[in-house]
Amino acid sequence: MQPGILWIKGLQTGSQGALKYNERSVPMKKHLESLLRGVIAWTIGSVCVVADEPPVRTGVQIPAIVGDYTLIYKPQPDVYSGQDTQNYKNGETYTHWQTNDHTYIKGPDMDGSGDRWHCFGITRPDKAENDGVHEGEGTCFHALAPIGKLATAMRPQVWIDQPKLDVSGCGWAPHCIKIGEAFSLISSTNGRAESIDLFDWRDKGKLKVKGENTRDPDVLFWNGTYYLTRCSNRSVSLVTSVDFVNWTDPVNIFTAPQESWNCESPTLVERHGVFYLFWCLWDSAGSGEQLEALYDGHDPSTYDYRTFVYASDTPMDFHDRDPVAQLAAHAPEIIQDEEDRYFISSADYPQRGINLARLVWIPRKPSS
């Protein structure tokens, strides 16, 4: 296998996520050409245009990245407002900032003139070579897209920095969801902030959810129920609620297949009656050190960009099965836009900042 190439059930993704096929497999090539007809993305000027996906089919489908990632947001130099650490001091300005777990939602513009996509996420200064991977975290970046649809906002560095947030622990792996007329931002600390306009936030205390040492929350709302996934070491757990107040006890829905594998940034997606669990790998055995370093200061042993995808007919159990795909993304977010198209977002892969690419679903080839 070539360095930087990830295999997806007979498919390949290049080091920046571009979809490829095995040139030596003529039947696979013909199969892919048939499946991907009408879903390949192309670029006109600086706007990504994507044709319609294939007709809806039941059964498990394979998620695949089409085209290269676009760096939509790069944090700008800013004053550090967090607590003093060994390498970072409150009130000092730092040029480079690192991103990590993040979340997307569409909501109002600051002046009410139209709707925009918003992105919130972990950020910290990134200057010292010997700092800890989480040193200086605690505030949340807020990036604002141009007015319009997500596809038209997938252009290089057009998302604009807004003032960073420091409320309800939202600087620790935030997830944003709209509940009624208000938006909620929850975090790994179980903190919850609420806003009407996505700019002014107020603390709403903590979610009353059980679970020890859990982090990286993500919420799927499906059939009148909220499904909250979180990770803890090798496992991904799930709690549910119908009112976002009263939650069930945690259920372990997945355990990583290797002792040294830790699950990060789990995301649950429902599509045509099939549930897909995306999670990013951190390998405590250090296999990430074998990955390609993407830019100066990138440490692949800590910011791994191997994401696995599992499929199930229930959101409650992803055990004892093989992944249906392996994608190149760190802290992946799966976004469904206004026209039911899918995108995948990746933090600090392949470039420093937030990167966005088109995600398509390919019907799995029937076994012979």
- How far apart CA 41 and CA 50 sit, in angstroms, is 5
Assign 304 to helix, strand or coil. Answer: coil
Nearest to 350, CA basis, from 51, 46, 67: 67
Mean pLDDT score, 338-345? 96
Q: What is the pLDDT of residues 311-329, one digit of tens each?
A: 999 999 999 999 999 999 9
Does some domain include residue 355? yes
**Domains identified in the chain, total number:** 1
CATH number of the domain within which 46 lies: 2.115.10.20
pLDDT for the residue numbered 368: 56
| Gap between the Cα atoms of 189 and 45, Å rounded | 43
Q: What is the pLDDT of residue 192?
A: 96
Is 258 contained in some domain?
yes
Q: Which domain holds residue 11?
A: 6-363
CB 42 within 8 A of CB 66: no
DSSP 82: S
pLDDT band at 367 (very low <50, low <70, confident <90, very high): low
Give me the percent of the chain exceeding a pLDDT of 70. Answer: 81
Say how far apart CA 328 and CA 168 lie, in whole Å.
31
368 belongs to a structural domain: no
**Residue 319 falls within a domain, yes or no?**
yes
Average of per-residue pLDDT values in the chain: 85
pLDDT tens, 134-174? 899 999 999 999 999 999 999 999 999 999 999 998 999 99
Q: According to DSSP H, which parts of the chain are helical?
A: 26-36
Residue 215 forms part of a structural domain: yes
**Contact between 28 and 21 (Cβ < 8 Å):** yes
What's the pLDDT at 222? 97
- Give a yes or no: residue 1 inside a domain: no
Q: Does residue 37 lie within any of the structural domains? A: yes
Looking only at Cα atoms, what is the longest distance across the chain? 64
Residue 253 lies in a domain: yes
Q: Looking at residue 192, what DSSP letter applies?
A: E
CA distance 189 to 216: 9
Q: What is the pTM of this model?
A: 0.85
